[in-house]
Structures are given as C-alpha cells and as structure tokens.
Amino acid sequence: MEINNASDNSVVGDSAGSLPSDGTGIVSLDPWLSPFKDGLRTRYKKAQDWIKTIGDNEGGLASFSKGFDKFGFNVNANNDIVYREWAPNALRAYLIGDFNGWNRDSHQMTKDNFGVFEIILPAVNGQPAIPHDSKIKISLVVPNDHARQERIPAWITRVTQELSVSPVYDARFWNPPKEQKYVFKHPRPPKPASARIYEAHVGISSPEGKVATYKEFTANVLPRIKHLGYNVIQLMAVMEHAYYASFGYQVNSFFAASSRYGYPDDLKELIDTAHSMGISVLLDVVHSHASKNVLDGLNMFDGSDHQYFHEGAKGRHELWDSRLFNYGSYEVLRFLLSNLRFWMDEYQFDGFRFDGVTSMLYTHHGIGTGFSGGYHEYFGDNVDEEGVVYLMLANELLHSLYPSVITIAEDVSGMPGLCVALSLGGIGFDYRLAMAIPDLYIKWLKEKQDIDWDMGALTFTLTNRRHGEKTIAYAESHDQALVGDKSLLMWLCDAQLYTNMSVLTELTPAIDRGLSLHKMIRLVTHGLGGEGYLNFEGNEFGHPEWLDFPREGNGNSFHYARRQFNLVDDQLLRYRFLNEFDSKMQWTEEKYGWLHSPQAYISLKHDGDKVIVFERAGLLWIFNFHPSSSFTDYRVGVEQEGTYRIVINTDSKDFGGHGNVDDTTRFFTTPFNWNDRKNFLQVYIPSRTAIVLALENTL
C-alpha cells in the first residue's frame, strides 16, 4: 500500500501522479540524485513495507500510534485501572506503590505471548484503587540472577524528583478527578505561512535565580513573545530529563512533561494560552537517544541490554554517553510513534523540532565526520536506513493526522530529500535548520576585521540551500548561547555590555558597532536566509550573558541559568532598542510575508563598498556593512518601478541608531537598466546601516 504524504512540504513541477511511485520522484527536483535511485527505492520500499505490515496487524499507522490506549495506565469508565507493560525478557512482574503499602507480592501481573504484562485493578467503592498522584513502580524478576528490580513504568505520564532525598525519579499515577482536568478552550492556530520561531526554555525564563514555572512563563513570557511578533514557540527541555544541566537532552521518561516547572495541566494552560494569541507551540522532541539511567529510565528495563535499544556498542552513543534506539523494532516503533501522537493529542502541541537528526540518519552518528556535500555520503553503508525509515513514518503519521502540523529537522549533514514528501521518496519534514549561518557569524567575529567581511561569502552562505526544501534561518540559537561560546552581542561588545549600555553613558565605538551589527546581522538573515526564522529567548535584545545551568562545576549557581527580561523593561538601558527592532522585523514580515515568498534576487554584492542589495516579496533591501564609509546618492537597481518608502531602518533612533536616515523620505525610480534591473533609485546609506524599502501604495 503506497500513501501520499498529506503535507505541503515539497515543490513539484508536475502533478504527483505523473511522477514515479517507487521513491524516485525526488529526482525530478534534483537530477543529481539520479545515480542513487537504487538507494532511494530501497529506503522508500522499507517505509512502505512497514506501513503495510502495520496496516495488516494494527489497522494502520493511526491506530498503531495510539499505543498509550493499550500500554501504561488506563482508567475504564467504571474506574477499573488497567496497566500493561512490554518487558519480554522479564520472568515475572508485580505492581507496587503507595496503594498497596509497597507490598512486592500482592499484585502480580500476567504475561502474554508477546512479552506484555497486564494487571487489572477493580474499582474500590466506585473509585480507582490507586489514589491520584500517588507513587507507583513496577517490580520485575529478571532471568540472569532472578533478582527483583524496581523500575519506573515506561509509559508513565508524570514523574517527580525530590533531590533532597534522592536524584532518582518517582513515578506517579496521574488521574485527576474529572472536574479538575484541564479543558482546552482554544483551537490550534492554522499552519503559519511564515514560521517566525521563538526558541524558549521554561526553567530559565525568569530574571530570578531559580527554576521558573509553566505558570510564570504563561503570565510573563507569552505576552512578550506576542509583542515581538513571533507566531511559533519552540519549547526546549519539556520531556522529563534526569539532569537539569543536560538542557533536556538526557530523557528518561518520554511521556512525562518535566515536573520541575509544575503540573501537567500547567503546561496545557501554557499551550492553550499561546493558541489564544494565535501562536503555535512546538516540542523539542528527543528521539535520537535516551538517558542511560537504569533506575528511572528505559535502559535495562526488563533486565536486557536490547529491549528498546541496540545491543552492545551499536546501542551506545560514545559522545553523548546515552543509549540509541533500535528503529527496526516493531515495539520501539510503536513506543516512539505513540509518543509523538501523545504530545499532539494530550497537550495539543502543534508539531516538533526533532533533535539530533544527524545521529539518527547515519551509523557513525556524525561523530568525527565532516560532510563535504558529496551525494555518496547520503547513501550506502554509513546511512542508518532504519533511522531514515523511522523519520519517514513519523512525518507520514503526523502530516496525515494533523493538517497544521510543523516538523523541523536538526541536521548538519545536508541530507537531500529531508524536506520532501514521502510520496516522492523524501523523509517528509517541513523545514530543516540552516546550521551553517550562525557558524559563519561566530567565525568571522572571532577571526576577521569588519573590513575583511566578504559580501559574496555572506550572501552565498545565506542562500545556499536546497531548492524545494524549506529552511529555518537563524543568527544564533541556544547552541551559541550555551557556556563555552558567547552570544553575538557579547562577541561584538565584550565587557562594555556591563558598563556602557545605559543611555546615560557615552555611546562608545564598541557599543555603537555592537548595536548596529546586531540589527544588521539579524535583518540580513531574516531577509535572505530561509523560509522561516528562529531566535533563542533573550538573544533578540542581546542578552549579555551565556547560558549555564547549575552544576558541580559552577557551585550549582543559577546566575547564568536565567533570562534577564528586566534589562528590556529598563527604559534607561539600550537593550530595549534591540528588542523593539526585533519586534519591528517580525511584524513587518507578518505584513509582507517575505519568508514564504520566492528566494531573493540579489542584484549587488559589492565587496569594496561592503554593500548588499536584493529584492524579495516586493521589498528592496539595502545593507552597508562598511565600518566607516557612508554613501550619498548610492544607485541601486530595482525591477518594479514606482515610489518607495522606508519600512525598516536600522539607523532609527527608536532602535538605538543615529537618526541619519529620514524615515519619511520618498524614493523615485528612474527607468534605466542598472545591475540587470529595469530601474534604479538613489539612497543615502550610512556606514553600518540597513534600510528596507516598500512601494508607497503597500504601506
């Protein structure tokens, strides 16, 4: 059975019907893939074989992905509790907890031929036998030494950690009374034509040195995001992870929202409130690996090395010190696909940013491997076809069930077809992250003088993306904010961030340069870099410090594990200028929609003048990166004749500029061919300034 991907994540000249249905349709988008048709057919056939097998056995991907209705704890209408757990290697299993005084023998489970243990707890006086939010565990007898071991149920939806007692998590039976359950009030927003993404971490979302809560994020941060004009939030570190400082990347309970930030219903309220503002919410999903914790993770769950993971070295990531899933296992597929479905259905998330996709796509996991862009690197023995096929199935499932879903791949390799529909032989994501762009900025700020910035290299890096595959561009994400690196504004201004960001102090050359380039780097990335844009929380206003979580190495300090929004609110500090510029950028994109417009036409990249000129979405973008030269009556080409006005001006005093460019200026075109454009106009473009012009009749 072959099914067409329901997403709009491909660009096809012909109708899909006229293209081959064997997974090689993608070759029409990229003829360079022609020598690799056999590889494309193989991975496509494996995906279709899984779809057929799951269809025959389970009635389709949709029902297969509702594993949470069968596994874990389910409460029937009469309040009987049914608990099932897949643990094929275990000999016997018992349910223990507060409800039975932790008696290790009173509640033995029965095992079926598929290795699934089950127990039914009849209601007591019409009420569930296990009290809401009480502690529970599964106690297993394993073959090697017939010893008993207690485990956290794999499908548990709430776990808590009492660090004063033990770092090991406790599982809790989450079953609030009907009248206390959160009821969603707002529908999901439609899929945004342009994705403007605000990447955030709930725990750091406070100026105070503490772990902030879902409720605080809802009350304090959502209004800021709305003011800024972002229409998507990407929430990091929500899936429960044992170690706070791991930034959420050592997941131990895949169905549990982190209890550090509050109760499950608090997260639901956060998402529902975002929806009321027209903002979609994505989950940073970690299916690339899992915590190696045994006592409160999936590792060695049933006493075997290979239940959820590959056996031996194949099942271990040597750099991340974590376990690697076996994507070729039927029950692992059920677990992971159901996990995606759970977050979509239970919490009403709008999609996912898949973390560590490079690790999933290749048997070497990207370790010690540089990708040259040669197509041979994307096929053959180094490719983990089971990982590729899992991602195909995940995207197929999500796009067929949820029309507004957004999926983003974090991949450094440049795998072709990552954002092309499965029906054409692609993997099916909506977007990929443009990871080379922030690397370029950091490298240049570390190694080059401003006068040596190469305009050709800059525009090439910003536009070097696969045709027909949508890209999320960003100047800096959480990767650049983490300790060991510095944010862009820290690279630009260094120690003066602490002494000269007050409007009452002198505007020093370092601060002037920093404010100017911070705005210009973001604007050129927004305009040229992709079909979506991403910013990490706080970086929009040039957050003055990196991100470092409390850990032994820093005396368990929260000093760097917070975002100082108070800096924006202080009218005497220059951070507010950057914040308001970011807002101007997002809301202007909302009006003109350049992110979902065709790629820009670059008419000028002048390395001597350090000037870049391009057109996109009917707007004319002009950048002068020169550190000292300003240009009067600078002639720039433009295709569309008419009268133009400024819609974005980095030099505006509202954004901490000098006000040398008059926002009310009208620019008139002259019908004379210039830089291969039909018309030209002349502008005053000061040093380290960018302006964006629009036709007057669009204002």
Q: pLDDT (tens digit, 9 = 90+) per residue, 299-308? A: 999 999 999 9
Q: Strand ranges (DSSP E) for 410-546?
A: 431-433, 470-473, 532-536
What confidence tier does 594 reach under pLDDT thresholds 50, 70, 90?
A: very high
For the structural domain made of 72-153, what CATH number should be given? 2.60.40.10
Residues in Cβ contact with 381 at an 8 Å cutoff, skipping those fewer than 6 apart: 363
Q: Strand ranges (DSSP E) for 468-530?
A: 470-473
Q: Which residue has the tokens 């569930």?
A: 128
Strand partners, 616: 619
Give me the architecture of the 599-698 domain, per CATH: Sandwich (2.60)
Strand partners, 691: 622, 649
pLDDT in tens, 385-414: 999 999 999 999 999 999 999 999 999 999
The DSSP secondary structure of 177-218, one letter per residue, reads -GGGS----SPPPPPPSSEEEEEEEGGG-SSSSS---HHHII
pLDDT in tens, 688-697: 999 999 999 9
Q: What percentage of the chain reaches a pLDDT higher than 70?
A: 97
- Of 73-87, 100-114, 134-148, 664-678, least confident by mean pLDDT is 134-148
Q: Is the pLDDT of residue 487 over 90?
A: no
Q: Is the pLDDT of residue 312 over 50?
A: yes
- 305: Cα separation from own chain's centroid: 30
72-153 shares its CATH topology with 599-698 = yes
pLDDT of residue 373: 83
Cα–Cα distances (Å) from 223 to 227, 267, 273, 281, 576, in that order, read 6, 16, 10, 14, 16
pLDDT in tens, 489-528: 999 998 999 999 999 999 999 999 999 999 999 999 999 9
Quote the mean pLDDT of the chain: 95
Q: How many residues does the chain have?
A: 699
Question: If DSSP codes are grouped into helix, strand and coil, which group holds residue 18?
Answer: helix
Q: Average pLDDT for residues 341-345, to the nearest whole number?
A: 98
pLDDT of residue 1: 38
d(CA 684, CA 602): 19
Beta carbons of 511 and 518 less than 8 angstroms apart: no
pLDDT in tens, 122-131: 999 999 999 9
- Cα(first)–Cα(last) distance of the chain, in Å? 51
Task: Pick the most confident of 10-19, 343-352, 362-371, 431-440.
Answer: 343-352
Active-site positions? 355, 410
Q: Average pLDDT for residues 655-676, to the nearest whole number?
A: 97
Q: Is the pLDDT of residue 197 over 80?
A: yes
**What is the enclosing helix (H) or strand (E) of 588?**
helix 575-592
d(CA 605, CA 486): 28
Question: If DSSP codes are grouped into helix, strand and coil, which group holds residue 538?
Answer: coil
Q: Is the pLDDT of residue 11 over 80?
A: no
Q: Is the pLDDT of residue 14 over 60?
A: no
CB atoms within 10 A of CB 184: 13
Task: Dig out the tokens for 6 from the structure.
Answer: 């329901």
d(CA 160, CA 150): 16
Q: What percentage of the chain reaches a pLDDT higher than 90?
A: 89
pLDDT of residue 483: 65
**What is the enclosing helix (H) or strand (E) of 638?**
strand 631-638
Q: Average pLDDT for residues 180-190, to the nearest whole number?
A: 97
What confidence tier does 145 reach under pLDDT thresholds 50, 70, 90?
A: confident
Domain residue spans of the chain: 72-153, 436-531+538-591, 599-698
Q: Is the pLDDT of residue 6 over 60?
A: no
Cα–Cα distances (Å) from 620 to 204, 529, 617, 683, in that order, read 38, 15, 9, 11
- Of 95-109, 435-449, 637-651, least confident by mean pLDDT is 435-449
pLDDT of residue 304: 95
What confidence tier does 17 reach under pLDDT thresholds 50, 70, 90?
A: low
d(CA 486, CA 483): 7
Beta carbons of 351 and 340 less than 8 angstroms apart: no
pLDDT of residue 2: 37
The DSSP secondary structure of 372-417, one letter per residue, reads ---GGGGSSTTB-HHHHHHHHHHHHHHHHH-TT-EEEE--SS--TT
Beta carbons of 135 and 172 less than 8 angstroms apart: yes
d(CA 419, CA 471): 9
pLDDT of residue 4: 40
Q: Does this model's pTM top 0.75?
A: yes
Q: Is the pLDDT of residue 103 over 50?
A: yes
Pairing of strands 280-285, 232-236: parallel
**What is the enclosing helix (H) or strand (E) of 183?**
none
The DSSP secondary structure of 286-309, one letter per residue, reads --S-B---SSSSSTTTTS-S-SSB
Strand partners, 140: 93, 149
